[in-house]
Amino acid sequence: MKKGNELKPTTELPSAEQASPKQSGSTIIRADHDRDNPYLMMRRDTAQDSRLSWEARGVIAYVLSKSDNWKIRMDDLRKQGSSGRDVTRRILNELESAGYLTRERIRLAHGHFDWECTLYEKPLATQHNQVK
């Protein structure tokens, strides 16, 4: 792993006794959410959009966990998700079809091209995702 990318534990893992649900029937054990334990906030509708595969929802969560000026790069998505090029393209196409992603082809020096992607936490109205 590259230096500086290592995860640093902030607290000891809870014992089974400490992690047990406080209310009868609870099935979700939440971690502390504070300055020492940063968290991601995202729209519930996005996380529960049944039009999206689990993979696409995971990519949205991953990208939303980054800073606002972070550049979406296919190579990074492939490495983080250990998916191949075709799977990553399929996921990006799925997000684009659902209105969560726009891609613009930009011309680079020497006649090369690249894609500039923008992810929206709330989907844009598109031809594909409008409710009829």
Residues making up the chain, counted from first to last: 132
Say which amino acid occupies 85. Answer: R
Q: How many angstroms separate the Cα of 84 from the Cα of each of 22, 53, 101, 113?
A: 41, 17, 19, 21
Torsion angles phi and psi, residue 65, rounded to 5 = -75, -10
Each residue's pLDDT expressed in tens, for the chain with a length of 132 residues: 444 444 555 556 555 555 555 555 678 888 888 888 888 889 999 999 999 999 999 999 999 999 888 999 888 899 888 888 899 999 999 999 999 999 998 898 888 888 889 999 999 986 555 543
Helix axes 85-97, 74-81, angle to 10 degrees: 110
| Domains, in order of start, for the chain | 42-132 (1.10.10.10)
**Global pTM value:** 0.71
